């Protein structure tokens, strides 16, 4: 499938969910792709076909189905490696989501079985995150601090929703910096290459939570300067239950296994075991086979459209939304008000109206699906002195007409609560 330009109406026809009607005949206006994206026929059909005609366990069975399943599973790894600019397919580890990928890396630090100095961690050592992180990039490091006695530090967030980056936060004691490439609340795209350079100056490693960037922008892991990158399938038109950890091969080789079981071993005796090389060292047990193949199909789909075209389309939508939302009285935007270094996620509050009420009325009366709450980023909301926000997030299948529907709905919400 090849697109010369982003034909949104054609794209929408490839997503079955947009052909349905909500109760009372309302069309679906889906503005919640930052939470989870919808799935095109190409992904659905690929997964159905594999389950129906090719399914077997991978890496084990010596028969036709086993060979076909293994080829499709490992083929998905090749597609993902090419999609993110990895230097080797072995640097792509399948996990069940980005949270597991982040936890996998955190587990390697301060682990008694790992004597590599890059991963040794104890009292006096430091971990650096930011105030805008998703809980998945906060809690694993809090747990690590509890285990090791290390210190957790963080960058703040400016009033306009930018990373309050100070190189001095990263010191000679810093062992790892882990930050979002793009905020799931603010839409802010962080200066990760600059942060990576500073981390490497002091001998620290850097990890990026790229769950909100890989689906929306061209991402090349080598150009980012990162040591580890985590992202998830369900936000990039792929299935849930599958995520990715990319890491530099030499670091992955030095890390201990995260889980033990079948497939991740080289040989097992009763008193000890040796481990398979990467990537299989980190993929214990029967993996999410069909989900990985579905993610490979999602990569094919996004590649066929072109990530540059997707990014440009989302910038158009975001510019339109920022202008339109300014016309809504008492609306407070939480995050950057310009397109500079920001993605297609827009969070806001309406004075005197709880976001849960906003979301319910938008859904019940206008068919507009948005996310409400703290979006697994409670510290960020505390920083802005609010309990929750309403979040609209855009993707390749959204239109300016849907943003108009959102704005009409918000005006109605204000009338209801007047």
How many Å apart are CA 258 and CA 248, to the nearest integer?
Answer: 17
What pTM did the predictor assign?
A: 0.96
Of 250, 272, 303, the residue that ends a domain is: 303
Alpha carbon of 276 to those of 56, 111, 130, 168, 279: distances in Å? 21, 19, 35, 40, 8
Number of domains present in the structure of the chain: 2
Alpha carbon of 38 to those of 88, 336, 415: distances in Å? 29, 26, 31
Is 290 among the residues known to form the active site? no
Q: Residue 165 belongs to a domain with what CATH number?
A: 3.40.640.10
Q: What's the pLDDT at 405? A: 98
Residue 38, domain member (yes or no): no
Q: Please tell me whether residues 114 and 255 are part of one structural domain.
A: yes
Q: Please tell me whether residues 277 and 371 are part of one structural domain.
A: no
Measured in degrees and rounded to the nearest 5, phi and psi for residue 351 equal -55, 125
Residue 105, domain member (yes or no): yes
Place of tokens 């109206």: 353
Q: What's the pLDDT at 244? A: 98
Domain coverage including residue 411: 8-30+306-416
Q: Please tell me whether residues 311 and 280 are part of one structural domain.
A: no
Q: Please tell me whether residues 344 and 289 are part of one structural domain.
A: no
How many Å apart are CA 381 and CA 131, to the nearest integer?
Answer: 9
Residue among 8, 265, 376, 386 flagged as catalytic: 376
Of 270, 303, 336, the residue that ends a domain is: 303
Residue 396, domain member (yes or no): yes
Residue 98, domain member (yes or no): yes
Q: What's the pLDDT at 1? A: 42
Q: Please tell me whether residues 22 and 94 are part of one structural domain.
A: no
Could you give the 3-state DSSP secondary structure of residue 243?
Answer: strand
The secondary structure of residue 306, as a DSSP letter, is -
Mean of the per-residue pLDDT values of the chain: 96
Q: Please tell me whether residues 297 and 335 are part of one structural domain.
A: no
Name residues whose C-beta falls within 8 Å of residue 47's C-beta, 6 or more positions apart in sequence: 239, 290, 291, 293, 294, 297
Q: What is the pLDDT of residues 105-153, one digit of tens each?
A: 999 999 998 889 999 999 999 999 999 999 999 999 999 999 999 999 9
Measured in degrees and rounded to the nearest 5, phi and psi for residue 207 equal -120, 140
CB atoms within 10 A of CB 302: 21
Q: Please tell me whether residues 383 and 402 are part of one structural domain.
A: yes
Q: Please tell me whether residues 184 and 220 are part of one structural domain.
A: yes
Of 303, 337, 359, the residue that ends a domain is: 303
Q: Residue 24 belongs to a domain with what CATH number?
A: 3.90.1150.10
**Taking the CA of residue 414 as centre, how many other CA atoms within 13 Å lie in the half-sphere pointing to its CB?**
13
Q: Please tell me whether residues 13 and 124 are part of one structural domain.
A: no
How many Å apart are CA 150 and CA 141, to the nearest integer?
Answer: 10
Q: Which residues of the chain have pLDDT under 50?
A: 1-4
Q: Please tell me whether residues 202 and 165 are part of one structural domain.
A: yes
Q: Please tell me whether residues 264 and 180 are part of one structural domain.
A: yes
Cα-Cα end-to-end distance for the chain? 50
Q: What's the pLDDT at 2? A: 42
């Amino acid at each position: 499938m090849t697109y010369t330009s982003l034909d949104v109406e054609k794209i929408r026809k490839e997503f079955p969910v947009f052909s349905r009607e909500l109760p009372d005949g309302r069309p679906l206006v889906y503005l919640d792709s930052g939470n989870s994206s919808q799935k095109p026929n190409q992904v659905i059909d690929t997964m159905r076909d594999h389950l129906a005609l090719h399914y077997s366990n991978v890496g084990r069975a010596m028969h036709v189905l086993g060979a076909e399943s293994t080829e499709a599973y490992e083929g998905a790894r090749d597609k993902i490696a090419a999609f993110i600019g990895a230097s080797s397919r072995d640097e792509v580890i399948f996990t069940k989501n980005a949270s597991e990928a982040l936890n996998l890396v955190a587990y390697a630090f301060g682990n008694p079985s790992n004597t590599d100095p890059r991963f040794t961690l104890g009292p006096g050592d430091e971990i650096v995150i930011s105030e805008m992180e998703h809980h998945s990039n906060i809690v694993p490091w809090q747990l690590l601090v509890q285990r090791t006695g290390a210190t957790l530090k963080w960058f703040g967030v400016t009033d306009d929703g930018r990373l309050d980056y100070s190189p001095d936060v990263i010191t000679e004691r810093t062992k790892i910096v882990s930050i979002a490439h793009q905020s799931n609340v603010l839409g802010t795209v962080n200066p990760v290459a600059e942060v990576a350079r500073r981390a490497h100056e002091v001998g620290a490693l850097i990890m990026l939570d790229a769950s909100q960037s890989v689906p929306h922008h061209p991402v090349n892991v080598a150009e980012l300067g990162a040591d580890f990158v985590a992202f998830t399938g369900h936000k990039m038109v792929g299935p849930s239950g599958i995520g990715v950890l990319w890491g530099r091969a030499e670091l992955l080789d030095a890390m201990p296994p995260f889980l033990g079981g079948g497939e991740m071993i080289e040989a097992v005796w009763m008193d000890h075991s040796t481990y398979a090389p990467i990537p299989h060292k980190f993929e214990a047990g029967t993996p999410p086979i069909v989900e990985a193949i579905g993610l490979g199909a999602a990569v094919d789909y996004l590649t066929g459209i072109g990530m540059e075209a997707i990014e440009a389309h989302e910038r158009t939508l975001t510019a339109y939304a920022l202008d339109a939302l300014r016309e809504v009285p008492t609306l407070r935007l939480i995050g950057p008000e310009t397109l500079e270094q920001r993605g297609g996620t827009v969070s806001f509050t309406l004075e005197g109206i709880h976001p849960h009420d906003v979301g319910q009325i938008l859904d019940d009366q206008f068919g507009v699906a948005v996310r409400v709450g703290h979006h697994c980023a409670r510290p960020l909301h505390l920083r802005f002195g609010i309990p929750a926000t309403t979040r609209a997030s855009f993707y390749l299948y959204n239109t300016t007409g849907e943003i108009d529907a959102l704005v009409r709905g918000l005006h109605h919400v204000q009338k209801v609560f007047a």
